[in-house]
Amino acid sequence: MLTKKKKLSKKEIKEDKLVSFYYKAYKYFDENKSRVSIYAISAVVIVALAVFYVYHKKQQNQAAGDQLAKVMPLYDAGAYLEAIEGQAGTNVLGLKKIVEDYGSTENGETAKIFLANSYNTLGKTDEALKYYEDYDGSINMYQASAYAGEAGYYADKGQYDKAAELYRKAAKVTNSDVLNPDYLLHAGINYINAGKNDQAKEVFDILKKDYNTSMAYRQAYPYLAQIN
């Protein structure tokens, strides 16, 4: 008895076409390698590998995004340990596993920030620092968050000068980050703690010039009075 043929999804069709193309190309060059120049073969192989790499990277990024969407409700609910480790017996991977499996993708890079934040909130600051430093994504807001996360670590260690520089660096990533006033405030405070009042005044002047309606600027009043 004949069974009904399964209808392929768009994803499966694309994958099937890609695999078919690869094997057809391989068969052709294998059968004609004596007539085709080695340079032509190399060029085609390089192009084929590049196409395959881009396709694979896109698929990996999509998979990372799907997993990130599943775990974020745990993070948002404050269940940071579960967000890190995932939920046993479910298909919810933890942030740590997402980073391990997909850390080189854009969504995997994003997972590093949430993983670092989770560790930081749980007081595991050394683990948090590792992932803040490892962030290499292209999203400006997360890059600034990574610098600020590093800055908080060094401020807690009493390395105020380094913390101030990192907070200042975070404020410079993009002009559109709503947290820039806070980064500048913390940069100024850490400069004061480091005994660098001139740098602190410079940062507070930027805060006054660019963000004079922000809460951070109002919070800077006592520090401005202190250094003046």
What residues have CB less than 8 Å from 145, skipping those under 6 apart? 113, 117, 132, 170, 179
The pLDDT > 70 percentage for the chain reads 75
Q: If you average pLDDT over residues 159-176, what whole number do you get?
A: 97
- Going along the chain from its start, the domains and CATH numbers come out as 37-138 (1.25.40), 147-228 (1.25.40.10)
Which two tokens mark 198?
Answer: 């001139």
**Model pLDDT for residues 138-156, shown as the tens digit of each residue:** 999 999 999 999 999 999 9
Q: If you average pLDDT over residues 2-9, what whole number do you get?
A: 44
**Residue tagged 């052709």 (tokens):** 28
Q: Taking 70 as the threshold, does the pLDDT of residue 26 lie above it?
A: no
Bridge partner list, 93: 86
- pLDDT band for 57, please (50, 70, 90 cuts): confident
pLDDT of res. 43: 52
Question: What is the value of pTM for the model shown?
Answer: 0.77
Top pLDDT among 204 and 41 is at 204
Q: Taking 50 as the threshold, does the pLDDT of residue 6 lie above it?
A: no
Cβ pair 163, 130 in contact under 8 A: no
**What is the SS3 string spanning the chain?**
CCCCCCCCCHHHHHHHHHHHHHHHHHHHHHHCCCCCCHHHHHHHHHHHHHHHHHHHHHHHHHHHHHHHHHHHHHHHCCCHHHHHHECCCCCCECHHHHHHHHCCCHHHHHHHHHHHHHHHHCCCHHHHHHHHHHCCCCCHHHHHHHHHHHHHHHHHCCCHHHHHHHHHHHHHCCCCCCCHHHHHHHHHHHHHHCCCHHHHHHHHHHHHHHCCCCHHHHHCHHHHHHHC
- pLDDT band for 107, please (50, 70, 90 cuts): very high
Average pLDDT, the chain: 85
